Amino acid sequence: MSEILLARLAIAFAAFVMAVSSPLIVSPAAAASLNSVSAMKTGASVDVRIHFDGAFEAPQSFALASPDRLVIDLPGGAAGGTTYPGAGEIRQIRTAQFDNHKARIVLDLNAPMSIGKSEVDGQTLTIRLQPMEASAFAALARKGRKTLKGSRQIEVAAASPPTNAVRTSATPTPIGTAATAAATKTAAKAARTRHAPPQRSHTGLPVVVIDAGHGGRDPGSPSIDGKREKDAVLAIAKAIKKELDASGRVRTILTRDDDRYIPHRARTDVARHNGAQLFMSIHADSFPQNPEVSGATIYTLSETASDKEAARLASRENRSDLIAGVDMTAENDDVTSILIDLAQRETMNSSAQFAALLQREMVGAGVPFRSHFHRFAGFLVLKAPDVPAILLETGYMSNERDAKYLFSRAGQEEIAKGVRRAVEAHFLRRLAQR
């Protein structure tokens, strides 16, 4: 067979690949990660909000009876195994990864309900559930899967051929095996350009989770003039996220971005399921017995709390992936306890080092601190064994000056700038230590 014929066959094959190749399946690494799920009762209805950190494809739903459940599948999404509290006739909301390309949300119902309205707004799916008769729910379960209204597919393939696609023409094709390889390579590149899903811009950046304390039914501590801690810390958390996002050096995730309550374990699950390298819980202290007490304080996990936590975690049945990258399913309780203890001690050391950086940079930004700024306690949100974590008490709600500072834009920006500088220094130090 002549070299000319080989070259022509290669070009024809490349064009065929471009014509028939199917879109690549989004892998979990490229999928949008689930950030949060919340439910709120509105009269007889319940609104459910499902928020990802990126775009997903058109969600689908179906019903299951005995027991009654509503299932939502989100192609292009990634979700860890977490249980969120329900509301109204939703007993609980469970999340899991159904397959490599699909996140699954299961709504466990106390009574039959159907999805009345649905809306996709960028990275968020909002649905409204309404009551229905048992016979109607049974009929809904028999209907099977449907695409939710208000959803839209992500456009991946262009309507017109890509500009770098190989085109045939009357111009003679260069002869030789090098030309054959070049033609095949160009065509393959064109096919990838046309069908590959968009790459996420945050690939490779350290993940920082910012947790605004309290929320929803838990207002936190009140100020002298009746303002609520949950509102102050949410505003501060958003200011921190804005400052960190502007730096372009980390990827940030909020555990909540509105007024709702999230259980403590669910907050740390957000960090662990997203592979966070740092977790910061934002609070404001209160000591009404002495309203003169003021200034910020940083808490990290105490030795006593970590030892008890290691013992408790070791007794759990499912030890797989308890510490990132370490499969402990084959280890006995003693070995597991030691591994968790070692991982948690290393995490505690990293947390304490970051606490010192945080105080230094926040003071430099103008944030007032207490003289004894670093304390230790067994807060639940600090107990993930493999994620460095601090709890920042930004000031005292019971102190008039502190409360005004925490609710002011200037105060929130100073806190955010100090946190940003500390986070940058923290990861630069870790990079230098490698």
pLDDT bucket at 433, cuts 50 / 70 / 90: low
With a cut of 60, say whether residue 316 has pLDDT above it. Answer: no
Q: What's the per-residue H, E or C state across the chain?
A: CCHHHHHHHHHHHHHHHHHHCCCCCCCCCCCEEEEEEEEEEECCEEEEEEEECCCCCCCEEEEECCCCEEEEEEECEECCCEEEECCCCEEEEEEEEEECCEEEEEEEECCCEEEEEEEEECCEEEEEEEECCHHHHHHHHHHCCEECCCCCCCCCCCCCCCCCCCCCCCCCCCCCHHHHHHHHHHHHHHHHHHHCCCCCCCCCCCEEEEEECCECCECCCECCCCCEHHHHHHHHHHHHHHHHHHHCCCEEEECCCCCCCCCHHHHHHHHHHCCCCEEEEEEEECCCCCCCCCCEEEEEECHHHHHHHHHHHHCCCCCEEEECCEECCCCCHHHHHHHHHHHHHHHHHHHHHHHHHHHHHHHHCCCCEEEEEEEEECCHHHCCCCCCEEEEEEEECCCHHHHHHHHCHHHHHHHHHHHHHHHHHHHHHHHHHC
Q: Do residues 189 and 211 share a domain? A: no
- What's residue 143's pLDDT? 86
With a cut of 50, say whether residue 263 has pLDDT above it. Answer: yes
Q: Do residues 222 and 191 share a domain? A: no
Tell me whether residue 62 is in a domain.
Answer: yes
- What's residue 155's pLDDT? 29
Q: Do residues 47 and 112 share a domain? A: yes
Tell me whether residue 133 is in a domain.
Answer: yes
Tell me whether residue 370 is in a domain.
Answer: yes
With a cut of 60, say whether residue 45 has pLDDT above it. Answer: yes
Instruction: Report how many domains make up the chain.
Output: 3
Q: Do residues 133 and 246 share a domain? A: no
- What's residue 434's pLDDT? 61
Between residues 92 and 99, which one has the greater pLDDT? 92
- What's residue 11's pLDDT? 46
Tell me whether residue 202 is in a domain.
Answer: no
pTM of the model: 0.52
Tell me whether residue 273 is in a domain.
Answer: yes
Tell me whether residue 271 is in a domain.
Answer: yes
Q: Do residues 279 and 244 share a domain? A: yes
Q: Do residues 257 and 405 share a domain? A: yes
Tell me whether residue 201 is in a domain.
Answer: no
CATH, residue 274? 3.40.630.40
Tell me whether residue 118 is in a domain.
Answer: yes
CATH, residue 87? 2.60.40.3500
Between residues 79 and 361, which one has the greater pLDDT? 361
Q: Do residues 190 and 96 share a domain? A: no
Q: Do residues 304 and 418 share a domain? A: yes
- What's residue 382's pLDDT? 73
With a cut of 60, say whether residue 275 has pLDDT above it. Answer: yes
Q: Do residues 99 and 223 share a domain? A: no
Which tens digits make up the pLDDT trace of 334-369? Answer: 555 555 566 667 788 889 999 999 999 999 999 999
Work out the mean pLDDT of the chain and round it to a whole number: 75
Between residues 203 and 212, which one has the greater pLDDT? 212
- What's residue 5's pLDDT? 45
Q: Do residues 211 and 308 share a domain? A: yes
Q: Do residues 182 and 279 share a domain? A: no
Q: Do residues 211 and 337 share a domain? A: yes
Range of the domain at 162: 3-23+158-195
- Ranked by mean pLDDT, the top range of 40-44, 189-193, 308-312, 402-406 is 402-406
Provide mean pLDDT across the span 148-174.
37
Provide mean pLDDT across the span 407-430.
95
- What's residue 18's pLDDT? 39
Which tens digits make up the pLDDT trace of 223-260? Answer: 989 999 999 999 999 999 999 999 999 999 999 999 98
pLDDT bucket at 97, cuts 50 / 70 / 90: confident
Between residues 320 and 330, which one has the greater pLDDT? 330
